[in-house]
Amino acid sequence: MAERSDGVPNGLVNFRDLGGLPVEDGVTTSPGVLLRSDAPYHGDQDPPEAPHWPPRAVIDLRDTGTESDAVHPLENVSTVHRIPLLEGLRGESGQDPWLTLPELYGYILDFAAKPLLEVFRIAVETDGPVLVHCAAGKDRTGVACAMLLRTAGVRYDAVVADYVHTDRNMRQVLRRLRIEPELPPGVDESDVDEFVSAPTHAIEHALERLESHEEGVAGWLMRHGAAPEDIRRWRERLLGPR
């Protein structure tokens, strides 16, 4: 991927189409349905080399007014839905009440169930590719996509592997976000702080919370307002007619 004169990548660096992932019964997910990425920016000139671009709908999970632009870069080609997943979770102090990634993901599941349900409904109702993104495409996007994938029956290990895949892209993501973690002498770049990595145990914690409900992740969604017909429609959309 080309870089600007300041060395910042000139396009998405944590993009992927979640097609081709294995389901329990040997079926795989359809390409061109669910996409995930880091945040697109005005000035990006390298769109993803993907056959299903641009997306029909974009779900932007970033906070309003702090992380997101007033006008989304894809607003002219996609229907943009802004669902600030963490907004309001920090309380009056403005400080993060979570100290670890598992705690953060727990907060999302406990206090942002309604926005996650909205993500699900948009994914169900959109006729065409849906892009889910936040800033890095790791935490908010990771929890939302794990929920969508497991609802459709994607294998647990494949969902974890997709989440961990972000780790290999994080140095480029941080450059796009203009974040350069300072590492002590002798510490390898891979040994970065948990909040700028995608460790297996973090997404496993979220999945275990979701799977603990009767009927698994689908049961969690139905408990928060999803209809059984919506679950069926999403599985058919991501997996194709069965």
Fold of domain 30-179+195-233: Protein-Tyrosine Phosphatase; Chain A (3.90.190)
Q: Give CA–CA dist 225/217, Å, rounded.
A: 13
Residues 6+ apart with CB under 8 A from 106: 98, 205, 206, 209
Q: Give CA–CA dist 137/196, Å, rounded.
A: 11
CB atoms within 10 A of CB 175: 16
**Res 181: pLDDT:** 45
- Where exactly are the structural domains of the chain? 30-179+195-233
Residue 59 is inside which H or E element, if any? Answer: strand 57-60
**Res 1: pLDDT:** 57
Q: Give CA–CA dist 4/200, Å, rounded.
A: 33
Q: Give CA–CA dist 161/155, Å, rounded.
A: 10
Q: Of the candidates 236, 208, 210, 238, which has an alpha carbon nearest to the alpha carbon of residue 223? A: 210
Per-residue pLDDT of the chain (242 residues; tens, 9 = 90+): 555 545 578 899 999 999 999 998 889 999 999 999 999 998 888 889 999 999 999 999 999 887 887 899 999 999 999 999 999 888 777 788 998 999 999 999 999 999 999 999 999 999 999 999 999 999 999 999 999 999 999 999 999 999 999 999 999 999 888 754 444 344 344 444 678 899 999 999 999 999 999 899 999 999 999 999 999 999 999 998 76
Predicted structure pTM score:
0.91
* Residue 16: strand pairing partners: 36
**Res 182: pLDDT:** 42
Which amino acid appears at position 88 of this protein? G
